[in-house]
Amino acid sequence: MEYKVVAHSEMDTIELAQNIESEKFPNMVICLNGELGSGKTVFTKGIANALGITESITSPTFTIIKEYEGELPLYHMDVYRLENSNEDIGIEEYFTKGGITVIEWANMIEDILPKERLDIKFKVSGENTRVLVLEPHGKDYVDLCEAVL
């Protein structure tokens, strides 16, 4: 099952992220995919803001993983640089650390993603407009989508 949301501005994307955060649970995994500039980091900023994180959120392209402390820990990953890499950097450990894991370019590590997760595809459909396609995997994520959409 898929859910589609049209975001007409960055604020719409942030609002969706904040609504998803309102239904948070420990070990939540959110996988973001889409071209550069499509809103993945903006979405993560919305999650972080709703968790009470005041630090500036930037894409962890070169560090791969950034950790933030909030109501729940936020583990923000950008795994773009891991494409075609067999390097084990312990990403799977974050899925069970009790926080929220948000992974940009998650399709690059699809083989190690947990079965239960929320996939969100960002598609640019105009200068400020994005179509977000949410695909929940597992009952908790279906329930989450039903609660916020």
The answer to whether residue 26 sits within a structural domain is: yes
- CA-nearest of 53, 46, 38, 39 to 17 is 46
N-terminal to C-terminal alpha carbon distance within the chain: 13
The answer to whether residue 14 sits within a structural domain is: yes
Tokens for 117? 């997760």
| CA distance linking residue 119 with residue 109, whole number of Å | 13
Q: What is the DSSP letter of 52?
A: T
Q: What is the pLDDT along the chain (149 residues), one digit of tens a residue?
A: 999 999 999 999 999 999 999 999 999 999 999 999 999 999 999 999 999 999 999 888 778 899 999 999 999 999 988 765 556 678 999 999 999 999 999 999 999 999 999 999 999 999 999 999 999 999 999 999 999 99
**CATH classification of the domain holding 7:** 3.40.50.300
| H-only helix segments in the chain | 10-21, 40-50, 91-94, 139-148
- Predicted confidence at residue 86, as pLDDT, reads 57
- Predicted confidence at residue 87, as pLDDT, reads 63
pTM exceeding the 0.85 threshold for the entire prediction: yes
- Predicted confidence at residue 61, as pLDDT, reads 73
Task: Please count the structural domains in the chain.
Answer: 1
The answer to whether residue 69 sits within a structural domain is: yes
Name the residue range of residue 137's domain.
Answer: 3-80+91-148
- Predicted confidence at residue 63, as pLDDT, reads 83
The answer to whether residue 40 sits within a structural domain is: yes
The answer to whether residue 86 sits within a structural domain is: no
User: What does the angle CA 31 – CA 37 – CA 148 come to, to the nearest 5 degrees?
Assistant: 45
